[in-house]
Amino acid sequence: MITSLAHEILSVGLLYRDRAAAENNFDELKNHWGWGGFTTHDQKCCRSMTRITALICNWWSLFVRLVNPNQHTEAINSRPLMLYAIGKQTRHAGQNRLTIINKHAEAEKVEQHYRRIAAFFKALRLTAGQLTSIQH
């Protein structure tokens, strides 16, 4: 390795690792979220789609971090695991119930993840301030 940086060789390796980690985000956006290119020359439309894609990517990253806070999981691996299920919402006696049927080989693991996320949001809802119907 040749460099003009005045660092020890181990420090240079860490710098390259950090750079690769930052570039990995752009690679994931390009290859797994559709940022590989848009087929229109309309700049306004391209900017809008780019922002929408980035927003959805961020939401998905936050969702997956709730599942596993200690590890980044790329969309190509996390989407099949967390999205390929059938959900049904039922309402009875003023209560909403969401039933999810998952045929994935790791369905029990996914169910544990969903239960942990549901518990997190339930606790968040209890502690967060809620608007009344008049304030909406």
Question: Mind listing the pLDDT tens digit for each residue in 49-71?
Answer: 889 988 998 999 888 888 888 88
Average confidence (pLDDT) over 13-24: 78
**Which range, 2-11, 100-109, 125-134, has the best average confidence (pLDDT)?**
100-109
pLDDT category, 3, cuts 50, 70, 90?
low
Number of domains in the chain: 1
Name the residue among 94, 100, 91, 105 with its Cα closest to residue 118.
100
The answer to whether the beta carbons of residues 67 and 106 sit under 8 Å apart is no
pLDDT category, 27, cuts 50, 70, 90?
confident
Supply the pLDDT for residue 5.
Answer: 67
Residue 117 lies in a domain: yes
Name the residue among 61, 58, 57, 79 with its Cα closest to residue 69.
61
Q: Which residues contact 117 (CB under 8 A, 6 or more apart)?
A: 63, 66, 67
Q: CA 74 to CA 64: how far, in whole Å?
A: 9
Of 133 and 57, the one with more pLDDT: 57
Residue 1 lies in a domain: no
Average confidence (pLDDT) over 111-136: 83
Residue 7 lies in a domain: no
Residue 64 lies in a domain: yes
Q: Where are the alpha helices (DSSP H) in the chain?
A: 9-32, 43-67, 75-83, 107-127
CA angle centred on 2, ends 19 and 16, rounded to 5°:
10
Supply the pLDDT for residue 49.
Answer: 87
Portion of the chain with pLDDT greater than 90, in percent? 10
pLDDT category, 4, cuts 50, 70, 90?
low
Residue 22 lies in a domain: no
**Structural domain of 48:** 42-125
Question: Mind listing the pLDDT tens digit for each residue in 81-105?
Answer: 888 888 899 999 999 998 888 887 8
Residue 107 lies in a domain: yes
Residue 78 lies in a domain: yes
Residue 24 lies in a domain: no
